[in-house]
Structure 1
Amino acid sequence: MTKLIHLDIAALLILVIILISQFTRRMSKGTTNHFFIALVIMTILSGAADIWAVVLDNAGSLNLGLRTAAHTLYLLAYNTISPLFLMYVISLTNTWEKIASNKAAACALTLPYLGVIGLLVSNLFTHSIFTFVDGVYTTMPLSFLPYTMARINILISIAYIIIYRRLFTTRKLIALIMLLPVTVCILISKIIFTDTMVMVFGNTVGVVIIAVMIQRPENLIDSFTGLCKHSAYADDMKKNFAIRNHVSIIMVNIANYDSLQKILGYDKTQKLLMMTGKKILEQNRTAKTHGVAYYLDRGRFRLVINTYNRINSEYAASLINDALHQTVKIDKFDLNLIPYVCLAKCPEDIDNFQSLISFGTDFHEKLPYNGEVIHADGSTVKRMVSLLTGMDSIIERALANHGFHVYYQPIYSIEKKRFVSAEALLRLIDEKEGFISPEIFNPAAEKSGAIHKIGDYVLTEVFQFIASSEYKKLGLEYIEINLSVSQCMHHGLADSILESMSRYGVSSNQVNLEITESAASYNQSVMSENLEQLSAAGLTFSLDDYGTGYSNMYRIAALPLKIVKLDKTFVNNQNSKMWTILQNTVRMIKDLNMEIVVEGIETEEMVKKFSDLKCDFIQGYFFSKPIPQREFVEFIDRWNNRQKVNA
């Protein structure tokens, strides 16, 4: 009977296109892609061998050795496809470590395939699978075994998918499960259409489903760097934590990314990212860590190294750190990156996905920079990770158990030569973790929404203090209270503040509200309504931390501000050019009829310098650090008494 091969030919054309697309879509790196490419190549090989064997059979070739080779090659390729698919599934789940640690499982997956190979080799001598009778291809009693083993591997793969279904997205899970009915349909077609070669075409349908629904570069690959995307990093690390894989992660954050982006513009920034990614991949190859590289966003790169190669992770981190410290040339620019490189072992150093993301996002803003590789097993990093992991519960505990405390830092009037106000500053002292910096708990509170409860607590504490008899004796004019971005953008903020002031009998001239530069940069209608309503009620505003963000004089003039506070980082940089800028800044602010508070003053020399510059107020450690309410009252009392004596 003449066999038809038109489906095999169609399958080969489809498979070649898919194979080429893997490389044109930059889907050739990584273990998963390697197995998929191997799966496609093996399916092509099985199709080519099938065509070769059928053509020889149809022609009635007398060269039985050649025909035996063709049929044996087809069966070998066909039986290699299902183990490769199983390897692909294992790679998708990233459960290699579990397979390697379970010898029974490894043997169960390996021995059947080796048995089939042995059977095919022995067939050359025993003819137990197929032979040629009078020149006609004839199946023998054991011919069912290769096909049976292939189907068993498919069933094992399906079982593996079901067991680890939580590690797949819904789309991937549907795609993989769809392969089972496809297999059944092909088997039925083989029985019905005995003269048509359908097996290779059936495998090709499965490959197409995988290519279309799983191998999606738009979901996995960053188009500019060629590295894996943030979403791929999240998926892979969630899997690693879920199955407790041991991996090393080299985290790279470019601290001056925002500045470089402003200098370079879009196109050159993309070129910089490509060059940085290329350097990381080069060092990955040099160290032979075989890690998977990811680009997340805003100058953040990651290299994830599996358990078998993590012994070289320290070497790789050192190479990457050295490479990224080299000057980068882009067109006419000679650029120096500020790369923070941190090596973390998971789950030993960081044991859950949320902590990994929280720490990795901005560790370059919280840790000192010395140019060396940071190790996440260090005490400083470990404490930070611990805090980030439990920050939500720490905040809840602080709200419930009075862990938050309002401290006050006095503000000195240069003209009146006395303390006229103070800034209320929130401190968190946890019963387990001790003092926790606002730089750590504030972002967490903003994300969780707890910032509104915290803000209400601060307002209540300050208003109670202002309403107290001891405050009235201090002779202070007002207290400054910080408002976060989230508070400013919250409906009902103005009503809440005014209602609370009314409850405690606090007048509008006793309170000054501080907004940061980052808050001022938002152009939100809710924020504008809140500020306008509070301003109409007689409250005044300060712009805090001027000099750390992107405020300009137009923005300052547009806001209902009474005071601008110069940040200490702006103040401390006292080279001649910066001093000229500072003088002009002060002059422009004064021309807008606003007052100036200089923060971060620590020496008498600095007090004199800014007094001569005609600034209005001084705040800093020269007079006092932020102190609890009782100590603050005692401090102001002592100062007032000393002033009376001197008078």
Structure 2
Amino acid sequence: MQAYFFDISAFMILLCLIYAFFLEKMHKIVENGVVLSSMICVLMASTLGVISYTKAFSAPQYRMLFSVTVNMLTALGIALMVIFVYRISVYNVGLLRYMVFVIIPCVVDIVFCIASSLSGSLTLLRVGYAGDLFMLMTGINILIIYKKNSSLERTLMLLIMFVIASVMTVVEMMHPEFEVQRFALALLIAEEFFCLKNPDEQYEPETGLLGMDNFRESMKRRFFYLEKHKDVSLYVVALAIHGAETFMKLLGDTNEIKLRENVIDELVRIANGTPIYRMSKGVYAFVMQEEGRNEAIRIQDSLNERFKSVFGKDAYEMEIHATTCCIELPEMADSFQALVDLVYMAAREGRMKSKAVIDVKKLDREHDRYVREVDEKVRNAVSAGNLEVYYQPIFSLKEKKFVSAEALIRLHDGDGFIPPDVFIPIAESNGSIIEIDEFVMQQVCRMISDRKIETLGLRYIEINLSVPDMIQEDLPDKLMRYVDIYHIHPSQINIEITETSADTFTGMVEENVRKLSRLGFNFTLDDFGTGYSSLSRIIMMPFDIIKMDKTLVQPPYSLEKERERRNAMTLLESSADMIHRVGSKTVAEGVETEEQLNKLKELDAEFIQGFYFARPMPESEFINVVKAKNKR
């Protein structure tokens, strides 16, 4: 009756655990299959143990069959439990080395249990129990040897349960009538179940991927394994999506989820079973099994190829730029922290230099330190009061005066200014560009109102809006709010969009441009000649002005070879002609010499912006320069 009670208890415990296992969708995690298998084995053993006490199966031949089957299932269940302990304590490579301590006792257990059932020998049965005990002691041994590879709480609880199971196995070995072993094993499996953690903690609900805690735990085991196997190399492929913190939170919940699912689906497809860990927003690590160099190369190549194409669809179809790197362990990183530092260093380098692939061996650690310092300053720029808006006047060749200006943001750094081409990409990546651009919007609208720019002969001020700005659904409302606060007209704001941003977010950019255009805002296509926009894009969007980048204006006068200068001049002339043909006006940027100015006059360029007339300057100086020039 006591055995019946213990088997019923074990049955109920295991049934509840299996139900929870499937309810929490833990069966979808391949690594959890060992625990599930041990549950099923011991559940079946307990079930048969209960059935064997019924009158229908009380005959000797049934008792013998049940005894053999129960002992086989119990032995398999214990073996699987020990394998699980090994799996969570040690990197899974090298598992076969320990399997001898599991397989041989398991086989011995089964053989002697069968022999005991056939002969009725209690001694043989006890040898079978000794096999169980040996496997349980192996589990205790693993927990003690590799205790530093797991949390103290996990190790202690598993150790206690293994000791309890071992004691109850000894009790049953000495007194077979007390069948308490399966109950102890059910408790041990319950502890293993809770060691797996809640799957919502293990696999992130947002992405369905393993998170940073799991990455740390997994790599901790791998580095421990590498310490013991000096001749082995492991590989990690890291992917960093540029600006993930920014645009993922700007698309709205529904569209953000759709885009994220699209990206994750592609990552899972490319991984093809290789574990993926999300280190942070937009940063992922693909961890190869032992060696795995060829698989690492395949994954990196596939990622690079996929990120050449667009993600999403309709208004939210967009290019997503990313950087990948392949890290060989332990050669390139000999600890978890060193690995993490290397991944983020490669991510920053790729973002700063717009590189799709980073060779981590060539990373400049001193430069990375500087970038991290800038990142911190950029995040606190607005609250620290380190931002200032500068203005560069734009000269009209026809009216021979300044008629507008471009607002340019500057970031103070104690010792001077941080170059815009350094801090702006960082701001776009860490999300602070939104706050910075709002600061510019507010300052420009205030200046237009306070200085009454129309009385100075200025028609509008140009502001640069970044990609994250242009994909905000509430952008028109935000701009109109500032216009209303400062009582200015939308036409006094000219919005500059870079050619590359128009390419990156086709649908959403076009939609916002049209909304703002209807409200009275004007638009300029900036940096023409640096991107890859099709002519149809330029024709379709309402650009009043197209700016020719300095890379078009300056080469005809700076290149050394005659042939190169001639080709550059042809490109400049063709660009100016095309802009006029599509009905837009031209602003030539980067004009620094009289020779350049005269050529642009020949090409009928309407406006000139460059050091030849004026450099970017603070607001008060800008007002004085405009007053002096426009009074003549």
Q: Which category of TM-score, normalised to the shorter sequence, fits these structures?
A: 0.5 to 0.7
Equivalences for residues 409-424 of structure 1 within 5 A: 411-417=394-400, 421=405, 423-424=407-408
The aligned residue for residue 79 of structure 2 is: 80
Distance in 2 (CA, whole Å) between partners of 1:68 and 1:391 is 71
Distance in 2 (CA, whole Å) between partners of 1:153 and 1:74 is 18
The aligned residue for residue 7 of structure 1 is: 9
Indicate the SS of the match to 1:552.
Answer: helix
Distance in 2 (CA, whole Å) between partners of 1:579 and 1:238 is 48
Q: Which residue type is aligned with residue 213 of structure 2?
A: D
The aligned residue for residue 621 of structure 1 is: 590
The aligned residue for residue 247 of structure 1 is: 235
Distance in 2 (CA, whole Å) between partners of 1:422 and 1:269 is 34
Match of 1:229 among 182, 185, 208: 208
The aligned residue for residue 314 of structure 1 is: 297
Structure 1 pair 150–204 and aligned structure 2 pair: CA distance change class (3 A)? same
Q: Is the 8 A contact 2:3 2:178 kept in 1?
A: yes
Q: Is the 8 A contact 2:41 2:74 kept in 1?
A: no
Equivalences for residues 422-571 of structure 1 within 5 A: 423-424=407-408, 426=410, 437-443=422-428, 446-447=431-432, 484-487=433-436, 507=451, 509=453, 512=461, 514=463, 516=465, 518-519=468-469, 521=472, 523=474, 532-534=484-486, 541-545=493-497, 548=502, 549-550=509-510, 551-558=512-519, 564-569=523-528
Indicate the SS of the match to 1:543.
Answer: strand
Indicate the SS of the match to 1:415.
Answer: coil
Residue 293 of structure 1 and its aligned partner are, at CA, apart by 4.1
Distance in 2 (CA, whole Å) between partners of 1:327 and 1:554 is 24
Match of 2:270 among 267, 270, 280: 280
Match of 2:354 among 367, 374, 387: 367
Equivalences for residues 179-328 of structure 1 within 5 A: 197-208=179-190, 211=193, 214=196, 216-219=198-201, 229-230=208-209, 232-239=210-217, 245=223, 246-249=234-237, 251=239, 276=266, 279-281=269-271, 284=272, 291-293=274-276, 303-318=286-301
Q: Which residue type is aligned with residue 291 of structure 1?
A: T
Residue 291 of structure 1 and its aligned partner are, at CA, apart by 1.9
Of the structure 1 ranges 195-204 and 517-526, higher mean CA displacement relative to structure 2 is found in 517-526
The aligned residue for residue 153 of structure 1 is: 139
Structure 1 pair 442–63 and aligned structure 2 pair: CA distance change class (3 A)? closer
The aligned residue for residue 549 of structure 2 is: 600
Normalised to the residue count of structure 2, the TM-score between the two structures is 0.58
Indicate the SS of the match to 2:360.
Answer: coil
Residue 411 of structure 1 and its aligned partner are, at CA, apart by 2.7
Distance in 1 (CA, whole Å) between partners of 2:531 and 2:219 is 44
Indicate the SS of the match to 1:308.
Answer: coil
Q: Which residue type is aligned with residue 435 of structure 2?
A: S
Residue by residue over 1:453-512, the C-alpha shift from the partner in whole angstroms, topping out at 9 and shown as x without a partner, is xxxxxxxxxxxxxxxxxxxxxxxxxxxxxxx5214657x9969997xx8xxxx9464895
Normalised to the residue count of structure 1, the TM-score between the two structures is 0.57
Residue 565 of structure 1 and its aligned partner are, at CA, apart by 2.8
Structure 1 pair 75–556 and aligned structure 2 pair: CA distance change class (3 A)? same
The aligned residue for residue 464 of structure 1 is: none
Q: Is the 8 A contact 2:300 2:326 kept in 1?
A: no
Residue 314 of structure 1 and its aligned partner are, at CA, apart by 1.6
Q: Is the 8 A contact 2:465 2:496 kept in 1?
A: yes
Distance in 2 (CA, whole Å) between partners of 1:267 and 1:395 is 28
The aligned residue for residue 345 of structure 1 is: 327
Q: Which residue type is aligned with residue 165 of structure 1?
A: S
Unaligned runs of 5+ in 1: 101-105, 167-172, 285-289, 448-483, 587-595
Q: Is the 8 A contact 1:83 1:153 kept in 2?
A: yes
Q: Is the 8 A contact 2:45 2:74 kept in 1?
A: yes
Residue 87 of structure 1 and its aligned partner are, at CA, apart by 2.2
Residue 523 of structure 1 and its aligned partner are, at CA, apart by 3.4
Distance in 2 (CA, whole Å) between partners of 1:522 and 1:265 is 11
Q: Is the 8 A contact 2:236 2:328 kept in 1?
A: yes
Indicate the SS of the match to 1:567.
Answer: strand
Q: Is the 8 A contact 1:607 1:618 kept in 2?
A: no
Structure 1 pair 346–528 and aligned structure 2 pair: CA distance change class (3 A)? farther
Indicate the SS of the match to 2:3.
Answer: coil
Indicate the SS of the match to 1:568.
Answer: strand
Structure 1 pair 244–540 and aligned structure 2 pair: CA distance change class (3 A)? farther
Residue by residue over 1:223-255, the C-alpha shift from the partner in whole angstroms, topping out at 9 and shown as x without a partner, is 99xxx734x143333445667744321639699
Distance in 2 (CA, whole Å) between partners of 1:316 and 1:325 is 15
Structure 1 pair 138–177 and aligned structure 2 pair: CA distance change class (3 A)? same
Distance in 2 (CA, whole Å) between partners of 1:409 and 1:313 is 49
Structure 1 pair 272–623 and aligned structure 2 pair: CA distance change class (3 A)? same
Structure 1 pair 124–315 and aligned structure 2 pair: CA distance change class (3 A)? same
Residue 86 of structure 1 and its aligned partner are, at CA, apart by 1.0
Q: Which residue type is aligned with residue 8 of structure 2?
A: H
Q: Is the 8 A contact 1:411 1:419 kept in 2?
A: yes
Q: Is the 8 A contact 2:278 2:285 kept in 1?
A: yes
Q: Is the 8 A contact 2:391 2:406 kept in 1?
A: yes
Q: Is the 8 A contact 2:149 2:221 kept in 1?
A: no
Q: Which residue type is aligned with residue 208 of structure 2?
A: K
Distance in 1 (CA, whole Å) between partners of 2:578 and 2:307 is 40
The aligned residue for residue 602 of structure 2 is: none
Higher relative contact order (Cα pairs below 8 Å, separated by 6+ residues): 2
Residue 305 of structure 1 and its aligned partner are, at CA, apart by 1.3
Residue 543 of structure 1 and its aligned partner are, at CA, apart by 2.0
Q: Which residue type is aligned with residue 549 of structure 2?
A: G
Q: Is the 8 A contact 1:514 1:541 kept in 2?
A: yes
Structure 1 pair 303–553 and aligned structure 2 pair: CA distance change class (3 A)? same
Q: Is the 8 A contact 2:26 2:199 kept in 1?
A: yes
Unaligned runs of 5+ in 2: 224-233, 503-508, 554-571, 594-608
The aligned residue for residue 468 of structure 1 is: none
Residue 322 of structure 1 and its aligned partner are, at CA, apart by 6.7
Q: Is the 8 A contact 2:525 2:547 kept in 1?
A: yes
The aligned residue for residue 28 of structure 2 is: 27
Instruction: Establish whether residue 581 from structure 1 lines up as the match of residue 550 from structure 2.
Output: no
Distance in 1 (CA, whole Å) between partners of 2:240 and 2:402 is 46
Structure 1 pair 430–136 and aligned structure 2 pair: CA distance change class (3 A)? same
